[in-house]
Amino acid sequence: MAVWDELKVVLVRLRHEQPRALLGYPMPEVDEGRRPPFNIRLAAWASATAEDLHRQFGDDVDLTVGALPYPPGRPAPSPPAADERSGLLDPRELTAELDGPAIVRSGESVGHGLLLTNLTEQHVQIETNGHVTADVVDPSTGEVIGGSSGPQLLPLIVFRVEPGQTQRIPLLIGTDSIKPQLGYTIPAGAWGIQVPLKLGGHDTPGRRTPILPLTITA
């Protein structure tokens, strides 16, 4: 219990001083069954906090910063291969564009909008949890390099796009890196996003938008 007694004091302090940094952690109010290592998930911009925790608690804490393990050098999860991802939207049926330029600061997330236009004669349903979430990609290769890795609520909210109409769907754009060589946050630059879409209907395969422009600032 000695490690937990020290760690819970630190967690209470962090929860008060840096509430946005802590995304997942053992509740300090519960002592029963607390055995190391303790899993702690931090925002992608909170690597300095992760360094402090690692320095103080070492292997007694299992740290994740954004989408990647901390400290650097630990094995990172493998991203999906390109052929495992869903196919592109058919531009003869459904087109997608951003509701204005997408600009986000490195390490942060932003709410935006995706405009879907239905070119068919039947309505289209997009199943969401209140928004769709972008994958950030290298625009030259289409390789996924990051996005939003934090926990999300999972209610089913369906957006209906009528024939010939355009519907705005809330879009979440995050900048957590999944590439250790880029660091914990995707650096500033001109990148791209693709948005996976779950179309209504049990037999309907998933689709993704073409690559749309994204600017990440420092």
150 — pLDDT class (breaks 50, 70, 90):
confident
Q: Domain spans of the chain?
A: 2-70, 82-217
Measuring CA to CA, which residue among 192, 170, 163 is closest to residue 104? 192
Please identify, in words, the CATH class of the domain defined by 82-217: mainly beta
73 — pLDDT class (breaks 50, 70, 90):
confident
Q: And the tokens for 198?
A: 């779950």
- Tens of pLDDT, residue by residue over 161-170, are 999 999 999 9
Cα-flanking dihedrals φ and ψ of residue 134, to 5°?
-85, 145
Q: And the tokens for 110?
A: 């932003």
Cα-flanking dihedrals φ and ψ of residue 204, to 5°?
-90, 120
Whether residue 173 contacts residue 102, with contact meaning beta carbons closer than 8 Å, is answered with yes
Query: Does 59 have pLDDT greater than 60?
Result: yes
E strands in the chain: 22-24, 38-42, 61-65, 68-70, 87-88, 94-98, 103-105, 110-118, 124-128, 132-133, 135-137, 144-147, 157-161, 166-173, 176-177, 189-194, 196-199, 207-208, 212-217
Whether residue 41 contacts residue 20, with contact meaning beta carbons closer than 8 Å, is answered with no
Among 74-78, 98-102, 131-135, 214-218, where is mean pLDDT lowest?
74-78
Query: Does 180 have pLDDT greater than 70?
Result: yes
pLDDT at residue 102, as a whole number:
98
The full length of the chain comes to: 218
Query: Does 1 have pLDDT greater than 70?
Result: no
